Structure 1
Amino acid sequence: MNPTEKEISYNTTNSYSTLNALTAATKNVWLVCHGMGYLSRYFLKYFKTLPASENYIIAPQAPSKYYIKTDFKHVGACWLTKENTVTDTDNLMRYLDAIFKKEALPDSTNLIVLGYSQGVSIAMRYLAKRQKTCAQLILHSGGIPKELTAADFLYLPKTTSVTLVYGTDDPYLTDARIAHETERARTLFGKRLKILPFEGKHIVNTAIINSLV
């Protein structure tokens, strides 16, 4: 007899991390989705050089945690795998909804959405599924989900800028992959797209991040 896979729903709890304070002086609110192997509180180190009084950073936490090495000392996390992707994506969308509800961000701030590596897929899917307006979308060293189309982002105001950032020596990005992702980004975002390659590997480029505000 073959095993039967069933599904249930239940309440769960997850953390997220923030950097700086949300005040009347805050100009930009960042939603930053980390890559595979990170914890949100450590991912925030890449945003510490932004002016603290003007920038409030929110780093969601990928829910699937695991030990990175065989010494079982360092913990990382993953957003999605090829297993149960649709259901897990729906769960993540509701998790991000809960963050926005708790933070109650003022309309006077600019929302900047950044995805790094695996976090690109989460950032883009959230904007597309929730039709979330933002001032900037930054796609840093990650892949664009296959199911997304230009129609998913037609709602974005003309003032929203989109930046594709990647390292020219990134071991995960072959020439063919760079060409594919670049063309996909152009298809989705057209003339609003800006492409910023840099000399480097699969790393977060803080200099480029700082230059975008």
Structure 2
Amino acid sequence: MNSQEKEISYTSTNSYSTLNTLTERTKTVWLVCHGMGYMSRYFLKYFKGLNAEDNYIIAPQAPSKFYIQPKMHVGANWLTRDNTEAGMENIVNYIDAVLEVEKIPEGVHLIVFGYSQGVSVAMRYIAKRQLQCDQLVLHSGGIPKELTAKDYKYLSKDTKVKLMYGTEDEYLDEQRIVLESARATDLFGDKVSFMPFKGTHVVNVEFIEKLV
């Protein structure tokens, strides 16, 4: 038996979701990466409290969909530990295509926001594409081990990095929070600030609305 794993490239189609309308009055554009088990169109609900005229939200859709038991809701996953590099390359090309279509104008504030699994996607994407942003928000997720301070040297001195987490997060115990906080400081130095809140592994809408 001669078993081989081979690789091909092909064109794929994926959706993404937006909230509000991009106009000349838009002040802030958000690129938001959802967590595992979410769909981009439902993830947008956490941003509905933002001023609609000032804020335009772009939510890419994780490519791998699955059924969530027991009610068989559909959720999605960005990456697994299997063939992560190739998977991330596909995601990078996909987000490139989204941003090419959306044509974010110069002069607006750009917030890159990752929640849970979306933290690793957001961090890898901006590092690979050296995307300048005004804020990088890392909400309740893990920092990829391969990233180093050199990957983010390109960021403007004015870029703010926010690390948000619930103090009762079932996926981030105290030891993990200390570790992730130290990693963030190693990567971003004095750019990073910490925003803990009393709560579990949930999206903190109140904090989101304080970011603008």
Task: Using structure 1 for the length normalisation, give the TM-score.
Answer: 0.98
Structure 2 distance, partners of 1:71, 1:174, is 29
Q: Give the match for residue 190 of structure 2.
A: 191
Instruction: Identify the residue that residue 47 of structure 2 maps to in structure 1.
Output: 47
Q: Which amino acid aligns with 1:64?
A: S
Tell me the secondary structure at the aligned position of residue 164 of structure 1: strand
Cα separation, 2, equivalents of 1:22 and 1:14: 21
Q: Counterpart in 1 of 2:210?
A: 211
Please tell me whether residue 126 in structure 1 is matched to residue 125 in structure 2.
yes
Q: How far is 1:2 from its partner?
A: 4.4
Residue 163 of structure 1 is matched in structure 2 by 162
Alignment CA distance shift 1:2-1:174 (3 Å): farther
Return structure 1 stretches of 4+ with deviation > 3 angstroms: none
Note the 1:111-150 alignment, pairs <5 A.
111-150=110-149
Give the length in aligned residue pairs.
212
The question of 1:67 aligning with 2:67 is answered yes
The SS at the match of 1:180 is helix
Instruction: Tell whether 2:15 aligns with 1:15.
Output: yes
TM-score, reference length from structure 2: 0.99
Alignment of 1:88-127 (within 5 A): 88-127=87-126
* Residue of structure 1 in register with 2:28 after alignment: 28
Q: Secondary structure at the match of 1:30?
A: strand
Gaps in structure 1 of 5+ consecutive residues: none
Code of the residue aligned with 2:114 in structure 1: it is G
For the residue of structure 2 that corresponds to 1:12, the secondary structure is coil
Percent identical:
62
Residue 87 of structure 1 deviates from its aligned partner by: 0.4
Structure 2: any 5+ residue segments left out of the alignment? none
